Amino acid sequence: MSTPAEVAMAGGFTYGLTDIDGVVEMTLIADNLRNMKSFRLREDDILLCTYPKSGTHWTWEILNMIVAGKAEYTKHWQNSAWLEYRTEEELETLASPRIFHTHLRPRQLPESVWKLGCKIVFVQRNPKDCVVSSFCQESSQMWTDDARDTVCFTGSWSDFLSLYQDGCVVFGSIFDYILDWNKAAEQFNICQVQYEDMKKNCSKEIRRMAEYLDRPLPEKTYVEIAEACSFSNLKHANEKIKDQTYHFQWQQGTSGYFRKGKSGGWRNWFTVAQSERFNEIYKSKFNKPFPY
Ligand code: A3P
């Protein structure tokens, strides 16, 4: 019988995938993952934990601005501080407080995260919007670290949706990911943020994150950060202002990480039957109806 990583590759993924500890991962970072438990965290490290396409770039920039105390863009793209993608030596060179982003589950993180009580911000987004966003990314992104001249996923939307629902995609099942983080949130002091709430009132969510980080700021700074991190401003900053060293390669003419930045776009992609099936799977995993 094929493993989930094998199913993913047979289904249209063009980069190496490996099953590690029950989760599909990029082979490229397998060594980092195997050494992750002993990664040396600092007490003041901040972890931004997201399932891919939940608004990581957006929230990472916000967290950096909160820590800086002003609405000033970081020099680099967020991939400069990707916990499982960069080496420990590379990340060691970052100044404290380091703000990492990661797509790992609680059990995959460095062991010291819980002992040190590092601050954790966990962002969730409607999984239907996540799968659409992932499909658009994987169908137009190319790994710079990989010499092959091909996009990451070559199959159709319905092929992708089916693999996604089965957890045969990089970072595994979104459902299991959310369940694992919900469980961790019952035990630890984690700041839980919802993409859709950030869309509705970003300043309010920024204030909540700043207070959680014990770095409250004047009310006007929350508004300035929200404005600097609006979809169009942040897209412009990432593409035109930031140093491009840590940006990954996308197919010419595609929109990159900043595609639409909206809630509910899944309606343009799912058929009624696909939506109903997705809701059923959600219900069987969470024992409650699909909440969005
Ligand atoms: P879409 O593909 O639906 O547009 P991540 O950073 O985790 O990869 O998530 C990317 C998703 O967040 C993309 O979603 C992207 O457009 C959206 N996004 C990025 N910056 C945003 C912002 N400032 N406001 C709203 N959405 C944003």
Q: What is the 3-state secondary structure (H, E, C) of 138-162?
A: HCCEECCCCCCCCCCECCCHHHHHH
CA of 222 to the centre of ligand 1 (A): 19
| Residues making up the chain, counted from first to last | 292
Decide if 169 contacts 134 (C-beta within 8 A). yes
pLDDT in tens, 95-139: 999 999 999 999 999 999 999 999 999 999 999 999 999 999 999
Give, using CA atoms, the residue closest to atom 22 of ligand 1. 231
231 lines ligand 1 (CB under 6 A): yes
Question: Average pLDDT of 187-195?
Answer: 97
Residue that has been written with the tokens 């979809």 in this structure = 231
Alpha helices in the chain (DSSP H): 4-10, 30-34, 56-68, 88-92, 112-116, 127-138, 157-165, 174-187, 195-200, 202-212, 219-228, 231-236, 272-286
22 lines ligand 1 (CB under 6 A): no
CA of 277 to the centre of ligand 1 (A): 25
Tokens of 123: 């962002």
CA-to-CA distance for 219 and 283, rounded, in angstroms? 40
Band the pLDDT of 38: cuts 50, 70, 90.
very high
290 lines ligand 1 (CB under 6 A): no
pLDDT value of position 69: 98
Decide if 229 contacts 62 (C-beta within 8 A). yes
- Which H or E run contains 121? strand 119-124
pLDDT at 250 over 80: no
CA of 130 to the centre of ligand 1 (A): 9
16 lines ligand 1 (CB under 6 A): no
pLDDT in tens, 131-185: 999 999 999 888 655 556 788 999 999 999 999 999 999 999 999 999 999 999 9
Decide if 108 contacts 53 (C-beta within 8 A). no
Q: How far is CA 14 from CA 26, 82, 112, 149, in A?
A: 11, 22, 34, 10
133 lines ligand 1 (CB under 6 A): yes
- What kind of fold does domain 4-286 have according to CATH? Rossmann fold (3.40.50)
102 lines ligand 1 (CB under 6 A): no
CA-to-CA distance for 242 and 137, rounded, in angstroms? 20
CA of 112 to the centre of ligand 1 (A): 30
Mutate to test the pocket of ligand 1, among 48, 58, 194, 235 (most ligand atoms within 8 A of CB): 58
pLDDT at 248 over 90: no
Residue 101 known to be catalytic: no
Angle subtended by helix axes 56-68 and 219-228, to nearest 10? 140
CA-to-CA distance for 53 and 261, rounded, in angstroms? 10
CA of 263 to the centre of ligand 1 (A): 10
CA-to-CA distance for 23 and 16, rounded, in angstroms? 14
165 lines ligand 1 (CB under 6 A): no
Strands 23-26 and 46-50: unpaired
pLDDT value of position 253: 66
Tokens of 69: 């105390």
Question: Which residue among the candidates 57, 76, 101, 103 is catalytic per the annotation?
Answer: 103
Mutate to test the pocket of ligand 1, among 259, 267, 268 (most ligand atoms within 8 A of CB): 259
pLDDT value of position 145: 54
Query: Which sequence spans correspond to the domains of the chain?
Result: 4-286
